[in-house]
Amino acid sequence: MIKNPVPRVAAVHDLSGFGRTSLTMVIPILSSMEVQACPLPTAVLSTHTTGFENYVFHDLTEFMDKSVDHWIELGIDFDAVYSGFLGSSRQMDIVLRLIDSLKRCSPLIVIDPVLGDDGVTYGPITGDMVVKMRSFIKNADLITPNITEAALLLDEPYSDAINETVVRSWLPRLADMGPDIVVVTSVPLVNSKDRTSVLAYDRNDERFWKVSCDYIPTHYPGTGDAFASVLVGSLLRGDSLPIALDRAVQFTTLAIRASFGHRNPAREGVMLERVLDTLKGPVVMSSYELVK
């Protein structure tokens, strides 16, 4: 099967008008990495939902259903399906319909199970969506939960005691739910409060990977979207899993650092525009570790 010369991704995320999350992160990042992002918007919002009140939320479930019909009719070949924030539990069935129609081009299926952060679910996420996400991830090759989402998927309580030791034991359990590769973000380290990490497990070779970076004491919404988008772009360009992890961690850290010095309100997200060009270059530094 000849793949598209410019890798093509069905990008299933919401469009939030202000605050730099989801499609306003995903599209520029993938484009900068020479990957075509084809948006399948799940909802349109005036702003994202963290740190804003009275946001307008318009669910696009019906539109998605018809868009998927149209895409199937056109026979579009996708190299990846990459989903993030969904607007309703029925949208998981619609994405599944798209995935099932694409068997001929065996796309990479990446599900970022966007459910919450800091132990709290995002405003529009219902209990029903959390439950359904547990079976939806069966269809993924790769998932990218943060520690809150990993706890929700495993039905484990969220607490300050979650750290790299705990998450290492969670990774094979998450892989048992379906995906070959599990990447968990924002994992606290055991020996250092000044650094944080991303842990990953690949069931195909049973290897565990860790990439650590400085912990910066702030929280910008949308950094999970930046991380997962760079990971997807990097894998589609042919990087190995640990190099793709490295690239995604380095880019996300740089974006946070570019913003932190300016003291702009965290809810506005990271200053993506200032760092986007760095995605054009090769990986010049790598710090991944194989975890025993």
Nearest to 95 by CA among 74, 108, 111: 111
Q: Which is nearer to ligand PXL, 20 or 210 (CB)?
A: 20
Looking at the DSSP bridge assignments, the partners of residue 207 are 202
Q: Which is nearer to ligand PXL, 25 or 102 (CB)?
A: 25
For residue 152, the minimal CB distance to ligand PXL (Å) is 14
Residues sharing a CB contact under 8 Å with residue 215, sequence separation 6 or more, in sequence order: 193, 194, 195, 196
Determine the length of the chain: 292
Alpha-carbon distances of 236 from 12, 148, 252, rounded to whole Å: 17, 27, 18
Q: Which is nearer to ligand PXL, 79 or 112 (CB)?
A: 112
Residues sharing a CB contact under 8 Å with residue 48, sequence separation 6 or more, in sequence order: 14, 16, 18, 19, 21, 22, 55, 221, 222, 267, 269
Q: Which is nearer to ligand PXL, 7 or 19 (CB)?
A: 19
Cβ–Cβ < 8 Å for 233, 279:
yes
For residue 56, the minimal CB distance to ligand PXL (Å) is 11
For residue 139, the minimal CB distance to ligand PXL (Å) is 20
For residue 49, the minimal CB distance to ligand PXL (Å) is 3
For residue 194, the minimal CB distance to ligand PXL (Å) is 25
**Residues in contact with ligand PXL by the rule CB under 6 A:** 14, 16, 21-22, 45, 48-50, 85, 114, 122, 221-222, 224-225
Q: Which is nearer to ligand PXL, 22 or 253 (CB)?
A: 22
